Amino acid sequence: MRREVTLRDVAELAGVSSRTVSNVVNGYANVTERTRVRVERAVKELGYRPNVLARNLAQGRSGQIALVVPYLDTPYFSELLQSVIRAAKVSGYNVLIDQTDGDPEHERGFIAHGSRRLLFDGVIFSPLGLDQQALADRDPALPLVILGERTSDGTFDHVGIDDVAASRQATEHLLDLGRNRVAAIGDQPYATGEAAQRRTRGFREAHQARGLPVREDLIIGTPRFNRPDGAHAMAHLLELEEPPDAVFCYSDLVALGAIRAIVSRGLRVPEDIAVIGYDDIEDGRFSNPTVTTISPDKEMIAATAVERLLLRISSATPPPGLELRAPHKLIVRESTVGRSARPPSA
């Protein structure tokens, strides 16, 4: 059986001390570039793998981070979860996962003073039930990165896309197709609905930029971004004297529900009503019709969130909180342009 390669083996091959190898492996700056290259070459040649568990124990850490999301059955979060796990694994961290169902007390338990700190070293958190003030009243020693709904207050990092710009782009796509009665499904005009409010703002800005009025009766709220709420909202829109000829849905699940309601009435997508979603989940790539969508770079969101959280965990003095933007793009599919769209695999 092959003997496990030790830090001392690497030190002997590189001609340096074990302390120097440790400094290189842990990314400390007090090593010359020439020495770093020599150590990294020895690490690669010997196939050395740092004992992450021992390192974490020595530093008083668990080697685990928590990912806290509202719903695990939502495809966007399940896809993002996989990306977070991959990014954390590269740095030797395991990921603990918790679903809050948007319950404020459940969410508060993860950021309260001293709560569960023995289980994880930091939290990547997508809050739904807590508003900005509730986030401010948290354990200041807890390394925290926020996804989605809330913006940074300067003490934690927030990673997401530009919801306003993305929603404006989605609405402009529908207007460019010559649609003149564009609806929006997903507004949430209350304290914890910040992401939905930013999407409504982008929807309005697209109309205002072209000098077009916004019909308030075409902006429909939903409690959640899911299929049933999308279908219910779309059914309401279809009962209007002047129903929409296009709909911007605040998630792909909402879009799938809306499409179901449309075709159930004997109408066609996109010929009668064009539909665009948000999130670029796998379901939308293989539905009939496939769903035009705003696609956030989930891999970059996950990688950035993990990188910033590990920086906070390893820093004696927490760095200032940042607003970090991942890119997004419009992906045009059949639900807005018909069969002329590129195939689902594109």
pLDDT tens digits, one per residue of 82-92: 999 999 988 88
Average pLDDT (276-301) is 96
**What pLDDT does residue 115 have?**
57
Q: What is residue 276's three-state secondary structure?
A: strand
DSSP per-residue codes, 46-100: HT----HHHHHHHTT--SEEEEEES-SSSHHHHHHHHHHHHHHHHTT-EEEEEE-
**What pLDDT does residue 251 have?**
97
Q: Is the pTM of this model over 0.85?
A: no
**What pLDDT does residue 92 have?**
81
Computed over every residue of the chain, the mean pLDDT equals 88
Average pLDDT (168-177) is 98
Task: For residue 342, give Cα distances in angstroms to 125, 259, 267, 289.
Answer: 35, 19, 23, 12
Task: Using CA atoms of 231, 234, 240, 244 in order, give the dihedral in degrees to the nearest 10.
Answer: -160
**What pLDDT does residue 136 have?**
80
Average pLDDT (136-140) is 82
What residue ranges define each of the domains in the chain, with the CATH number in brackets? 7-50 (1.10.260.40), 60-161+298-315 (3.40.50.2300), 163-295+330-340 (3.40.50.2300)
Q: Name which residue leads in pLDDT, 60 or 203.
A: 203
Burial class (CB in 10 A: 0-12, 13-18, 19+), 206: buried
Task: Give the number of other CB atoms < 10 A from CB of residue 304.
Answer: 21
**pLDDT per residue as tens digits for the range 214-258:** 999 999 999 999 999 999 999 999 999 999 999 999 999 999 999
Distance of CA 53 to the CA centre of its chain: 28
Specify the residue for token string 């030797």: 92
**What pLDDT does residue 50 have?**
66
Average pLDDT (163-192) is 95
When pLDDT is cut at 50, 70 and 90, the band that residue 345 belongs to is very low
Handedness of CA 28, 31, 34, 40 (dihedral sign): negative
**What pLDDT does residue 149 have?**
67
**What pLDDT does residue 156 have?**
87
**Rounded-to-integer distance, Cα 155 and Cα 321, Å:** 5
CB 333 within 8 A of CB 293: yes
Task: Give the number of other CB atoms < 10 A from CB of residue 346.
Answer: 10
When pLDDT is cut at 50, 70 and 90, the band that residue 317 belongs to is confident
CA atoms within 13 A of residue 85's CA, in its CB half-sphere: 9
**What pLDDT does residue 331 have?**
98
**What pLDDT does residue 230 have?**
98
Q: Name which residue leads in pLDDT, 2 or 9.
A: 9
